[in-house]
């Protein structure tokens, strides 16, 4: 199994039962490149505070987090929690930034990418924009993410036909992680990764916060102002903080 090997090589800090990677962005991209070269199937989780809060209540999501091959600190809240436990130099590795770097990697190395998720037309638009941004980026398929869980295996067979090396699933937490766990053997992508709202960002449907707002670590507030439905997600922050404060250092 690849799971144990990957975790041995990657420096991690355990947070709420999950071994979160302490690699920086370059190290994370290299690790994903290594997983592709290694073959087999790997699951990458981009874990934010809401994901940890949901996992505390949802045993299926928790087991995905606990058994994944790589969990990156997707949000500033997770970075805070890791630093509190002694991982002083850890930096945020967000799903949207990581996906962009993997598109660049694909343009250099030819890795076959598949974009699954978001509303009809959005994955196609995101793919179009990423091909222009990273000429040569090898996107072999796209599909929207609005289908019932009963059709997961039908969609998986459709994705598998494109033989992707790396599958990005943008259907929100925990739906995307559950889809990946259920279908990973059918699809056979060497790396499958949940990326939340990233296709909305790449397609231009959602604007990323200005650099200054990101530097001030207020991207979550920016998203909340632009999209008040994100309030459900922000409401989970106090739950995450209380879980972290109750965990022994």
What residues line the site for ligand UDP (CB under 6 A)?
Answer: 117-119, 145-146, 170-173, 175, 196-197, 199-200, 233
Choose between 164 and 196: whose C-beta lies nearer to ligand UDP: 196
Choose between 45 and 171: whose C-beta lies nearer to ligand UDP: 171
Cβ contact 219:198 at 8 Å: no
Least Å distance, CB 119 to ligand UDP, is: 5
Residue written as tokens 């690790």?
A: 31
Least Å distance, CB 217 to ligand UDP, is: 17
Residue written as tokens 């592709």?
A: 36
Say what the alpha-carbon torsion angle 197, 200, 202, 208 is, to the nearest 10 degrees.
Answer: -70
| 3-state percent breakdown (helix, strand, coil) of the chain, nearest 5 | 55, 15, 30
Choose between 168 and 199: whose C-beta lies nearer to ligand UDP: 199
Choose between 145 and 188: whose C-beta lies nearer to ligand UDP: 145
**Tokens linked to 94:** 């967000």
| Local structure of 42: helix, strand or coil | strand
Cα 68 → chain centroid: 11
The C-alpha atoms of residue 44 and residue 38 are separated, in whole angstroms, by 15
Least Å distance, CB 45 to ligand UDP, is: 11
Least Å distance, CB 58 to ligand UDP, is: 13
Choose between 85 and 230: whose C-beta lies nearer to ligand UDP: 230
Residue 44: DSSP 8-state: E
**Tokens linked to 71:** 């969990």
Least Å distance, CB 199 to ligand UDP, is: 6
Choose between 117 and 188: whose C-beta lies nearer to ligand UDP: 117
Least Å distance, CB 185 to ligand UDP, is: 22
Strand residue runs (E) in 78-235: 113-117, 139-143, 166-170, 191-194
Choose between 36 and 116: whose C-beta lies nearer to ligand UDP: 116
In degrees and rounded to multiples of 5, residue 209 shows phi and psi of: -65, 150
Least Å distance, CB 144 to ligand UDP, is: 6
> What's the length of the chain?
249
Other C-beta atoms closer than 10 Å to the C-beta of 126 total: 27
């Amino acid at each position: 199994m690849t799971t144990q090997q990957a975790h041995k090589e990657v420096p991690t800090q355990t947070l709420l039962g999950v071994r979160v990677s302490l690699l920086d962005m370059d190290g994370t991209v290299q690790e994903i490149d290594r997983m592709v070269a290694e073959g087999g199937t790997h699951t990458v989780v981009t874990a934010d505070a809401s994901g940890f809060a949901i996992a505390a209540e949802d045993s299926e999501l928790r087991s995905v987090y606990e058994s994944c091959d790589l969990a990156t600190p997707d949000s500033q809240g997770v970075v805070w929690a890791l630093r509190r436990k002694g991982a002083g130099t850890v930096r945020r590795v967000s799903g949207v930034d990581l996906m962009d770097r993997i598109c660049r990697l694909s343009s250099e190395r030819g890795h076959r990418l598949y974009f699954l998720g978001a509303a009809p037309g959005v994955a196609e638009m995101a793919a179009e924009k990423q091909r222009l941004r990273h000429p040569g980026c090898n996107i072999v398929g796209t599909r929207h993410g609005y289908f019932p869980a009963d059709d997961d295996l039908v969609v998986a067979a459709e994705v598998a036909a494109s033989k992707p090396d790396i599958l990005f699933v943008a259907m929100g937490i925990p739906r995307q992680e559950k889809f990946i766990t259920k279908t990973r053997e059918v699809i056979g992508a060497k790396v499958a990764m949940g990326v939340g709202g990233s296709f909305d960002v790449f397609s231009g449907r959602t604007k990323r916060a200005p650099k200054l707002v990101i530097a001030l670590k207020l991207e979550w507030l920016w998203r909340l102002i632009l999209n008040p439905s994100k309030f459900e997600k922000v409401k989970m922050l106090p739950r995450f903080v209380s879980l972290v404060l109750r965990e022994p250092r």
